[in-house]
Amino acid sequence: MTAHSIESSILNIFQKYTFEWCAENERFNFTFFYDNQDFDSFDLLQKSGLMESSFSQLSSKTRKRPTTLDQLKHGNKYSVIVSSSEDIRLYPSFKELILSNPVESPDHFFIFENPKKPIIYKNGDEVIISSPLKHYLEICKIWKLLSNKADDSDNNSMLFLYRKKLTITSRYNEEMLEREFDGLTNFCDTMENDDTDKTEKNHILQNVLFKFLFCEKEEDRFSYLLSNFSKFENRFDDDYQAYIVGFSFKELRVEYEEKYREYIQSINESISSGITKTFAIPASIYLTSTRVQSIQTASEKKADEIFAANIGIGFISLAVTVFIFLMVINELHSLKALQFEYKSLMERLEEKSTPAYKKVEQLSIAIKNRITFARNVFLFIGSITVLHSIISIAWVYSRSTIHYSPNLHSNPIQCITNFLTAIIKAISWAIN
């Protein structure tokens, strides 16, 4: 017994014989002249629970109820009851469908409004063409989406308690099956397919529902919602987009304020590091001023040693100058790169959100001023370093060259010369 064979048997019986719908008992009463060719169809419907096992024989003289299908005689007139089963639902019209199942579609049902062209639906079937069936399934989907966000719900009503108590019953008239629900796809995408901001979307939905339906009668609310679904969806979408813009604005502002703190910290650390390293200048000045000896007062025997020592101290002073000068150049490049990065960041923020940019524009100015201050500090350090180097070299020169011609072949002088040559070669190799 396959689903296809059951479907064929149902269509065969409903299209061949006359029937009446009994709304009180929700069943079909069939009256027919029995044809032996329909035995298999009757048998299959009985086995599937759609047809009663007993028949009533209709005659002017006698009324007899056979107990089994086998007792039916070809050509005699009988009546039998056909009704829905747990798996298959049978309806005479959409009106009866929405009375019994207004918001929860059966998995498999038949509608015999036109027995020659009955409407058949199975769970999972895709209904594309605009029709009462398509609109009925959309109504069921709308109810499911809303009831999933309700504080309490069943197939008869749903309850929302976000602001005030709002009850929506599942009543609507058959005219709703002729309406198009514009915006349903967008509404489904927002509520079902997008997992972001779930709690906030629920609050926005309940707030819009409350404003939209609170003035309507409880029994008319769902019908009013369906009649004006496009307007409802637009209000919900407007409120949600307003929330997104506000949230994005706040999120962007917080993000850029954090970036501001990071940049300020980086600039301050750079300034502190540069100032700390300049302590080498006073140390170099102290070494130069106290350790450089005058050759004029020295004996000829120690003149070469004093000259070599002075040259060494002068080299140390020069090395301090070079290292600090390189540090200053490096920090200036870093400040330039940081300023470019922050400027690009602010330009992207202005493109994303002009209000957010205006709120943090003062931070950009503060960053720019801080970078300018840091640049001035490093330029000052560089100037002091160059001045220190000039004074130190001049001091060493004045103390080492008065009335003295050094012996370039003496051991101390030769060592200093070799050392300087090695340093110059190393620098040339590094540059190449």
143-169 tens-digit pLDDT: 999 998 888 888 889 998 877 888 999
Percent of the chain with pLDDT over 90: 19
Least confident of 150-164, 189-203, 246-260, 300-314: 300-314
Quick one: pLDDT at residue 247? Answer: 55
The domain boundary, picked from 122, 140, 157, lies at: 122
The domain boundary, picked from 87, 103, 122, lies at: 122
Q: Are residues 329 and 417 in the same domain?
A: yes
Q: Is the pLDDT of residue 430 over 70?
A: no
Q: Are residues 57 and 25 in the same domain?
A: yes
Q: Is 119 left (phi over 0), alpha (psi -120 to 50) or beta?
A: beta
Cβ pair 17, 31 in contact under 8 A: yes
pLDDT band at 81; cut points 50, 70, 90: very high
Provide the edge-to-edge strand list for the sheet that holds 77-82. 18-22, 27-33, 77-82, 56-57
* Distance, CA of 51 to CA of 131 (rounded, Å): 30
Structural domain containing residue 45? 3-122
pLDDT tens per residue across span 82-139? 999 988 999 999 999 999 999 999 999 999 988 888 999 998 888 878 789 999 999 9
Least confident of 136-140, 204-208, 300-304, 315-319: 300-304
Q: Are residues 281 and 416 in the same domain?
A: yes
374 within domain boundaries:
yes
249 within domain boundaries:
no
The domain boundary, picked from 66, 98, 122, lies at: 122
What does R_g of the chain's alpha carbons equal in angstroms?
A: 48
Q: Is the pLDDT of residue 422 over 60?
A: no
Q: Are residues 89 and 144 in the same domain?
A: no
Q: Are residues 110 and 22 in the same domain?
A: yes
Q: What's the mean pLDDT when you consider all of the chain?
A: 79
pLDDT tens per residue across span 19-65? 999 988 889 999 888 888 989 899 899 988 999 988 888 865 555 55
Q: Is the pLDDT of residue 280 over 80?
A: no
Q: Are residues 285 and 414 in the same domain?
A: yes
Least confident of 196-200, 235-239, 325-329: 196-200
pTM: 0.58
Cβ pair 226, 172 in contact under 8 A: yes
Quick one: pLDDT at residue 224? Answer: 92
Number of domains in the chain: 3
Q: Are residues 212 and 327 in the same domain?
A: no
Q: Are residues 171 and 320 in the same domain?
A: no
343 within domain boundaries:
yes
Q: Are residues 208 and 348 in the same domain?
A: no
Quick one: pLDDT at residue 1? Answer: 61
* Distance, CA of 314 to CA of 396 (rounded, Å): 6
Quick one: pLDDT at residue 410? Answer: 46
243 within domain boundaries:
no
Q: Are residues 112 and 219 in the same domain?
A: no
Quick one: pLDDT at residue 338? Answer: 83
Quick one: pLDDT at residue 404? Answer: 44
* Distance, CA of 59 to CA of 69 (rounded, Å): 18
Quick one: pLDDT at residue 222? Answer: 92
252 within domain boundaries:
no
Q: Are residues 304 and 421 in the same domain?
A: yes
pLDDT tens per residue across span 85-97? 988 999 999 999 9
61 within domain boundaries:
yes
Quick one: pLDDT at residue 399? Answer: 62
Interval 161-185 mean pLDDT: 87
Cα angle vertex 137, ends 131, 143, to 5°? Answer: 135
Quick one: pLDDT at residue 128? Answer: 76
55 within domain boundaries:
yes
Q: Are residues 54 and 176 in the same domain?
A: no
313 within domain boundaries:
yes
